[in-house]
Amino acid sequence: MVGKISIGKSLIGVLNYNENKVKEGHAICMDAVGYGREASELSFYEKLNRMQRLTALNPKAKTNALHISLNFDPSEKPSDDLLRTIAASYMEKIGFGEQPYLVYRHTDAGHDHIHIMTTNIQSDGSRIDLHNIGMNRSGPATRELEIEFGLVKADAQKLSAPYILKPLIKIDYGKTETKRAVSNTVNAVIKNYAFTSLPEYNAVLKQYNVVADAGEKGSRMQENKGLLYYITDEKGNKKSVGIKASSIYGKPTIPELEKQFVKNEESRRGYQKAVKDKIDRVLANPAITTKGELIKALSRQQVYALLRTNEQGRLYGATFVDNEYKVVFNGSNLGKTYSANALNERLKGEEILKQTALRRSPKQRHSFPIIVTQRMFYIPRKNERRSDDCVRIHLVEKFSPAAPHSPGYRLSVSSF
């Protein structure tokens, strides 16, 4: 079992997050401890007011909200009753047994997990100390619970197959409430993916029609570390009004993301070889000669390749998002073989096709479509309908590109 604690300043933000999941059908409020009524009988504001009455006893305490998640191995399917028992025991062990709290069972991932909302302000107005609560109290508590209830140990979980994130759905602008859709997507990505820069973060978000914009270089927005989130179309064009990062649940601002970048640097390291192996298997296929073919082949390996090209069609950046292991790598960070320059040299199919088409007359271009495969052209004969009756042109060898009337290859022509 893995326990995670988020400490914040907004009880209503935590409650909104969980209640929105309930509205979307991805969670249920399964327990309300210290409320005197069943969870199903409580309204939104009744859930909130119980805790706000406590925080009002200590207005100087700005940090007063705890959002806890307890995550179980995919092989475990605990019942609701068992989850309530585990939650109660966990809260007791971390020193919150006397506090009111709400328990939500979430179903938006490939593993069972619960979210617990509470406050650290006690009935006498004093604060429960939160210093190093994760290391000093939550860690030992989860290890004790693993033994007590026979749960899969956290160390074993890390070594087993990673959690399967329930597939996020691409946001369709105009059909979903913008802020909620962006918030859900952003929080799911931050929680599940290891990225170490804003471009890597955006590579993941791009899959779901979201972009995080830090402003133009040298702009006031960038200098002030501002960040706006937008919904985009399939081509990456912004469709919505920008949403301030500070207004989204969890506040995924630049300063907060920078903290995440540092943590993720270490957590993704163990997956570097696995990602390289996937890319190597694809690049070893001689039939892969274009960017489109590379992207399609990698997608079958659960790797999303974001290949950035200039106006001339030349690659200048490559980022790989492994949706199986939930890690992101810039190509150059994986090694020279995976950099944009190396991929430009490897993917010659489009360049050869473009050069050949430019050298033919308009009439020829119309009459003789070219089909390109690895180091071979197939040019159908004029007025010939049968696709198998062609002229085969082999690229025999490279020679001086300075030679006149040459694309840099000597050609050998034969019929078949």
Where does the pLDDT of residue 111 fall: very low under 50, low under 70, confident under 90, or very high at 90 and above? confident
- Do 139 and 190 lie in one domain? The reply is no
> φ, ψ for residue 285 (rounded to 5)?
-80, 115
Residue 253 has what DSSP assignment? -
- Do 259 and 286 lie in one domain? The reply is no
Least confident of 121-125, 227-231, 378-382: 378-382
Q: What is the pLDDT of residue 175?
A: 54
Query: Within 10 A of 134 (CB to CB), how many other CB atoms are there?
Result: 15
- Do 295 and 392 lie in one domain? The reply is no
Any domain includes 354: no
Between CA 313 and CA 350 the distance in angstroms is: 9
- Do 226 and 366 lie in one domain? The reply is no
Residues 284-328: tens digit of each pLDDT: 999 998 999 999 999 999 999 999 988 888 889 999 999 988 999
Report CA Rg, the chain.
Answer: 28
CB 67 within 8 A of CB 14: yes
- Do 120 and 47 lie in one domain? The reply is yes
Least confident of 10-24, 70-84, 359-373: 359-373
Any domain includes 380: yes
Residues 135-151: tens digit of each pLDDT: 899 999 999 999 999 99
Residues 317-374: tens digit of each pLDDT: 999 999 988 999 999 999 999 999 999 888 875 554 455 444 555 544 444 444 444 4
Q: What is the pLDDT of residue 220?
A: 92
Any domain includes 43: yes
Q: Exposure of 194 by Cβ count < 10 A (0-12 exposed, 13-18 middle, 19+ buried)?
A: buried
- Do 120 and 29 lie in one domain? The reply is yes
Parent domain of 279:
270-346
Where does the pLDDT of residue 174 fall: very low under 50, low under 70, confident under 90, or very high at 90 and above? low
pLDDT at 97 > cutoff 70: yes
Any domain includes 172: no
Where does the pLDDT of residue 415 fall: very low under 50, low under 70, confident under 90, or very high at 90 and above? very low
Q: What is the pLDDT of residue 159?
A: 35
Q: What is the pLDDT of residue 266?
A: 86
Least confident of 45-49, 72-76, 130-134: 72-76
Any domain includes 144: yes
Q: What is the pLDDT of residue 73?
A: 86
Least confident of 68-82, 237-251, 345-359: 345-359
Q: What value, to the nearest 5°, has the Cα angle with vertex 82 and ends 79 and 85?
A: 155
pLDDT at 167 > cutoff 60: no
pLDDT at 230 > cutoff 60: yes
- Do 9 and 139 lie in one domain? The reply is yes
Where does the pLDDT of residue 390 fall: very low under 50, low under 70, confident under 90, or very high at 90 and above? very low
Looking at per-residue pLDDT, the higher value among 50 and 407 belongs to 50
- Do 294 and 381 lie in one domain? The reply is no
Closest CA to 321 of 199, 414, 211, 177: 199
Any domain includes 356: no
Q: What is the pLDDT of residue 362?
A: 53
What is the end-to-end Cα distance of the chain in Å, rounded? Answer: 64
- Residue 2 token pair: 């893995």
- Do 125 and 88 lie in one domain? The reply is yes
Q: What is the pLDDT of residue 171?
A: 64
Q: What is the pLDDT of residue 214?
A: 95
- Do 374 and 281 lie in one domain? The reply is no
Between CA 344 and CA 338 the distance in angstroms is: 10
Distance of CA 330 to the CA centre of its chain: 14
- Do 183 and 34 lie in one domain? The reply is no
Domain finish residue from 318, 346, 374: 346
Any domain includes 89: yes
Name the average pLDDT for the chain: 82
- Do 119 and 9 lie in one domain? The reply is yes
Any domain includes 355: no
Domain finish residue from 222, 248, 263: 263
Query: Above pLDDT 70, what percent of the chain?
Result: 78
Domain finish residue from 242, 263, 284: 263
pLDDT at 172 > cutoff 70: no
| Number of domains observed in the structure of the chain | 4
The string of DSSP codes covering 207-246 is: TTTEEEE--STT-HHHHTT--EEEEB-TTS-B-S--EEGG
